[in-house]
């Protein structure tokens, strides 16, 4: 239970961090979507470890294999299965604390739920599970682009207390990919990289905020009452490891405004109903209104740090833990494609539901 996401465009991910491999099965993928391994690999390369000195040194090529559902370069309409083999797993790094609960990790909670846990790198709770989400999102994004020209771009907006100046309406993928931090504000990116290196040298970690915009989303996506578009977007993004908060549009800052300041006036632009402001973040009443969908996603500091911490064992013994292994001092740079992936999966799912509902 809980390993499947979506209704019309449905994915199931599988695998553990230090198991044989990880992957995804996509059901409901429309036929005749052009796709090749290289397109999927491009997105996985943005997510993979070992990209730079700002990320975990774990060396995984993350070479994807498409096992089913694709023939002669297009999808068949049958389930698409993709997988990546784990090649640089080092479970021995985790053996010294196989019975020790790592602070702020899922060790204790998984054991409380199942009575057993995979202590090698976090098992199913590891962010390595997101490989399947990113792989599946390539098909979702292509379908959205083919039908509506939808473009989804995410970026690092804040690391610790360092904030970038970014206009969601203007940010581009090229600007995001122009530096190791994946922040389109070049000066802020330099400061962020320095901060990440500093905390890495100190054996510590930092969190931050990722911004994301979806452009070209048509009006009308979303289902009242419990499947509101922003509700499903929030659920999708909150399902990511280390995410602790999601804002849409003005978010919490909107609470500082009066209604007369916050309301988005309607106007006719290019023959369509539009809004002159976008405090709503592209969603009103749980349904997209045709404006850019703008969200911010808060990531906590990486739980594994190389400082001595107090904790307990599964036998109830109080101990001190000094972590080992390979870990990101800041997850933000590698999380950018994962955030984009979850937004794409939600939008594709709702778009397909909308087409089915209005087929006549």
Distance from C-alpha of 217 to C-alpha of 234, rounded to nearest angstrom? 17
Backbone angles phi, psi at 82, to 5 degrees: -135, 150
- Assign 132 to helix, strand or coil: helix
Whole-angstrom Cα distance, residue 340 to residue 138? Answer: 10
pTM beyond 0.85, yes or no: yes
pLDDT, residue 353, reads 96
Distance, in Å, from the CA atom of 134 to the CA atom of 132, rounded to the nearest integer, reads 6
Q: Is residue 144 part of a domain?
A: yes
Measured CA to CA, the distance from residue 123 to residue 108 in angstroms comes to 13
pLDDT of residue 91: 66
Contact 245, 297 (CB under 8 A): yes
- pLDDT tens digit sequence for 208-254: 999 999 999 999 999 999 999 999 999 999 999 999 999 999 999 99
In a domain, 30, yes or no: no
> What pLDDT shows up at residue 51?
72
Q: Kindly state whether residue 69 falls inside one of the protein's structural domains.
A: no
* Weakly modelled stretches of the chain, pLDDT under 50: none
Q: How far apart are the first and last CA of the chain?
A: 34
Residue 194 belongs to some domain of the structure: yes
Whether residue 107 is contained in a domain is answered as: yes
Instruction: Indicate the burial class of 338 (C-beta count within 10 angstroms; 0-12, 13-18, 19 or more).
Output: buried
- Residue 270 in any domain: the answer is yes
What are the structure tokens assigned to 18, written together? 């230090």
- pLDDT at position 96 is 75
Q: Token pair of 56, please?
A: 């975990």
For residue 272, give the CATH number of its domain. Answer: 3.60.150.10
Residue 55 near residue 334 (C-beta atoms within 8 A): yes
pLDDT digits (tens, 9 = 90+) for 177-187: 999 999 999 99
Report yes or no: 283 and 219 within 8 Å, Cβ to Cβ.
Answer: no
Task: Please say whether the beta carbons of 69 and 160 come within 8 A.
Answer: no
pLDDT at position 89 is 65
From 243, 239, 218, 240, select the one nearest 229 (Cα to Cα).
218
What pLDDT was estimated at residue 9? 98
Residue 172 lies in a domain: yes
Q: What DSSP letter does each residue of 153-213 carry, written as one string?
A: EEEEEEETTEE----TTT--HHHHTTSTT--S-HHHHHHHHHHHHHHHHTT----EEEEEE
Query: Within a domain: residue 34?
Result: no
Closest CA to 243 of 321, 188, 298: 298
In whole angstroms, give the CA distance from residue 292 to residue 99.
48
How many Å apart are CA 36 and CA 133, to the nearest integer?
17
Q: Specify the pLDDT at position 122.
A: 80
Are the C-beta atoms of 162 and 188 separated by less than 8 Å?
Answer: yes
Residue 97 is part of which domain span? 88-357
The number of distinct structural domains making up the chain is 1
Q: Which residues pair with 267 in a beta bridge?
A: 274
80 and 12 Cβ atoms separated by less than 8 Å: no
Do residues 180 and 194 lie in contact, with contact meaning Cβ atoms separated by under 8 Å?
no
- Kindly report the backbone phi and psi dihedral angles of residue 104, in degrees, each rounded to the nearest multiple of 5, phi listed first: 65, 10
Element (DSSP H or E) covering residue 350: helix 332-357
| Maximum pairwise Cα distance, the chain | 69
């Amino acid at each position: 239970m809980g390993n499947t996401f979506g209704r019309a465009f449905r994915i199931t991910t599988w695998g553990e961090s230090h198991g044989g491999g990880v992957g995804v099965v996509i059901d409901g993928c429309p036929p005749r979507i052009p796709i090749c391994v290289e397109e999927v690999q491009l997105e996985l390369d943005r997510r993979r470890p070992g990209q730079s000195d700002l990320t975990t040194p774990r060396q995984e090529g993350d070479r994807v294999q498409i096992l089913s559902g694709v023939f002669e370069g297009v999808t068949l309409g049958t389930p698409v299965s993709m997988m990546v083999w784990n090649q640089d797993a080092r479970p021995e790094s985790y053996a010294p604390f196989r019975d020790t609960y790592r602070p702020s990790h899922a060790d204790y909670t998984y054991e409380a739920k199942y009575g057993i846990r995979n202590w090698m790198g976090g098992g199913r709770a590891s962010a390595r599970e997101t490989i399947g989400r990113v792989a599946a999102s390539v098909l979702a994004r292509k379908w959205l682009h083919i039908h509506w020209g939808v473009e989804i771009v995410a970026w690092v907006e804040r690391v610790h207390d360092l904030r970038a100046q970014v206009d969601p309406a203007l940010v581009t993928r090229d600007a995001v990919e122009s530096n190791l931090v994946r922040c389109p504000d070049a000066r802020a990116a330099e400061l962020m990289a320095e901060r990440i290196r500093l905390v890495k040298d100190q054996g510590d970690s930092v969190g931050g905020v990722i911004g994301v915009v979806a452009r070209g989303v048509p009006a009308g996506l979303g289902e009242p009452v419990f499947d509101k578009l922003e509700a499903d977007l929030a659920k999708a993004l909150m399902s990511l490891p280390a995410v602790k908060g999601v804002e849409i549009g003005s978010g919490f800052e909107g609470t500082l405004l009066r209604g007369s300041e916050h309301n988005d006036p309607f106007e006719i632009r290019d023959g369509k109903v539009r809004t002159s402001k976008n405090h709503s973040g592209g969603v009103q009443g749980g349904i997209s209104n045709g404006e850019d969908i703008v969200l911010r996603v808060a990531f906590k500091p990486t739980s594994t740090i190389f400082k001595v911490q107090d904790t307990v064992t599964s036998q109830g013994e109080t101990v001190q833990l000094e972590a080992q292994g390979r870990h990101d001092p800041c997850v933000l740079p590698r999380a950018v494609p994962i955030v984009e992936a979850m937004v794409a999966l939600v939008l594709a799912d709702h778009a397909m539901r909308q087409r089915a509902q209005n087929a006549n």
